[in-house]
Structures are given as structure tokens and as C-alpha cells.
């Protein structure tokens, strides 16, 4: 039997449900996908001790898909501009933090 190989540089794709409010105060629900990388426990503990969720997303977010963000010129952002825009939006940031933390907790439970 071959040895188990643990990829410590692994990533995972996770759905991110999001709720924003429009100009009239109505809830608009949607979602997109994010690819996150796994942080080693020592790095994760250090970030959690800082209580800095924005830094957490900076460290773990690799890419997003299924979301469109118009730039100042009206054209849809792509690549790093899209990633930065999504990270900098408060609603998207909170949604990604919840998705990442929920996925880490769920993915690390043994299935019986």
C-alpha cells in the first residue's frame, strides 16, 4: 500500500453566499465561488490571534468566479483588479471569511 501524500500547498473551491442591500434597503441575495488556499496551523493561529479578518482573506484568497464587478469605466474587472475589488467590498469580505472558516471546520471533520 502506498504512503499517503499530504499536499500542504492545497487549495479548495468553495461557494460563497452573499447578501447585499440595494439603494432602497432591500436585500439582494446571490453567490459566487472562491478558491482558497490552506494556511498552516501556525500561520492561521497567528492571524486569528490578531483578530484581523481582512488579513486572513489577503492570505488565503486565490481567485473568484461567478461574480461581476464593473470598473469605473463600466467594463467588468478581471484578474487581480477583480480579486482586489471583491476583497475590498465589506459584504463580500465578510461572506468570504464565513465561507472559508465554515469550510475549514467542515472539511477537517472525519466522516463516519
- Could you read off the pLDDT of 8-57 as tens digits, one per residue? 899 999 999 999 999 999 999 999 999 999 988 898 888 888 877 778 89
Residue 5: inside a domain, yes or no?
no
Q: Could you tell me if 8 and 40 are in contact, meaning their C-beta atoms sit under 8 angstroms apart?
A: yes
Residue 58 domain flag? yes
pLDDT digits (tens, 9 = 90+) for 48-68: 888 777 788 999 999 999 999
Q: Is the pLDDT of residue 110 over 90?
A: no
Q: How far apart are CA 92 and CA 61, in angstroms?
A: 12
Identify whether 36 is part of a domain. yes
Q: Is residue 87 part of a domain?
A: yes
3-state DSSP assignment of residue 89: coil
In a domain, 45, yes or no: yes
Please give the DSSP secondary-structure letter assigned to residue 14.
E
Which domain range does residue 81 map to?
A: 11-107
Alpha helix positions (H), 18-62: 41-50, 53-60
Rounded to whole angstroms, how far apart are CA atoms 72 and 83? 15
The structure's pTM equals 0.84
Number of domains in the chain: 1
Amino acid at each position: 500500500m502506498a504512503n499517503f501524500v499530504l499536499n500542504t500547498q492545497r487549495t479548495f473551491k468553495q461557494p460563497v453566499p452573499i447578501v447585499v442591500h440595494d439603494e432602497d434597503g432591500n436585500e439582494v441575495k446571490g453567490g459566487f465561488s472562491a478558491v482558497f488556499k490552506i494556511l498552516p496551523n501556525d500561520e492561521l493561529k497567528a492571524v486569528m490571534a490578531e483578530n484581523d479578518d481582512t488579513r486572513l482573506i489577503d492570505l488565503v484568497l486565490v481567485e473568484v468566479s461567478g461574480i461581476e464587478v464593473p470598473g469605473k469605466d463600466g467594463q467588468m474587472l478581471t484578474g487581480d483588479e477583480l480579486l482586489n475589488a471583491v476583497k475590498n467590498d465589506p459584504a463580500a469580505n465578510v461572506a468570504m471569511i464565513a465561507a472559508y472558516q465554515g469550510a475549514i471546520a467542515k472539511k477537517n471533520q472525519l466522516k463516519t
